[in-house]
Structure 1
Amino acid sequence: MSHIRSTAACVIQQNGRYLMVEEARGGKATVFNQPAGHVEPGEGPLAAIVREVKEETAWQVTLTGYLGLYVFHTPEGVTFHSHGFVATPDTQLNTPIDSDITATHWLTRQEIEALNAAQRLRSPLVLKRIIDASNGHCYPLTVIRE
């Protein structure tokens, strides 16, 4: 079994707030994350993140940039290669969201920083992606060759 996982996550901002998902984590308190998930066999990161955003938030989005590849090593020895994206929200769809998502929220950066201080973010990458997006650290989507 591979210990490297390919994932994608998306920073979506509107009116000074970020679209976040609240996720159940096996009996523990819920955690907050950007819409994110695994790149499935047969798809690339671009298709994966559009699918994940729709599945987790019922939003259709337009990808506007690539934040880059974030490498994260868990204490359990799993390495994540997480593709970070930036997108604008287009349409809220009337579709069900994944069962492990307990709620979606539009949060300010200050609210997200407070969740980080309370150790309620899914990983350290959540706030890092927001900071990078806020600072304009973004590449054209064409850097991904599929």
Structure 2
Amino acid sequence: MTAPESSISDIWRPHVTVACVVADRDRFLMVEEEVNGCVAYNQPAGHLDDKETLQQAAVRETREETGWAVELTHLIGVHQWRSKEHGDVIVRFSFAAKPLSHDPQQPLDVGIRKALWLTRREIADLGERLRSPMVLMSIDDWLAGQRLPLSIVSSLMPGSVS
């Protein structure tokens, strides 16, 4: 007896997300957002959209959530975590970026209350209000000097620029 074929919709898939650790001296760019009626704090972060590279998604999410244009400098790491919010697995690509310019007139994504700059201590003091443990993990990785070249992340998608 042969096993029934599984359909594409039966295949388990994690959420693929990106985040940017944007540092300015001892402060990091963060967002204050409303998630399920509660205030949470995160780096500029979000889901990878169809037909975009991980790098494009990281730059886009940062602009949409903060009004900041950034230039990616490194890949910090790839983190995996099961969300308490929805129970699904998140695979997060964390990038380091430098701030280039800010557009204070840019409307922020729905749910984003404001962008703010906080020190590592202020971020750690947020405790359970952090959106996930990956927030502090990626900052600590960056502070420890973990920086991989952007060339380690490539895309073979037509029309993409890695």
Deviates further, 69-78 or 34-43: 69-78
Question: 1:77 offset after TM fit, Å?
Answer: 4.0
Which structure: greater strand fraction?
1
Runs of 4+ deviating beyond 2 Å? 74-77
1:61-140 maps to which residues of 2 (within 5 A)?
Answer: 61-75=70-84, 77-93=87-103, 94-116=105-127, 119-140=128-149
TM-score of the pair, normalised by structure 1: 0.93
Question: Structure 2: which 5+ residue stretches go unaligned?
Answer: 1-8, 156-162
**1:107 match: secondary structure:** strand
Contact preservation (8 Å) 2:77, 2:138 = no
Identity %: 39
Q: Does 1:33 align with 2:42?
A: yes
Contact preservation (8 Å) 1:3, 1:77 = no
| Aligned counterparts of 2:101 and 2:147: Cα–Cα separation in 1 | 23
Contact preservation (8 Å) 2:83, 2:132 = no
TM-score of the pair, normalised by structure 2: 0.84
Question: Structure 1: which 5+ residue stretches go unaligned?
Answer: none
Paired residue type of 2:138: R
**1:113 match: secondary structure:** helix
RMSD (CA atoms)? 1.3
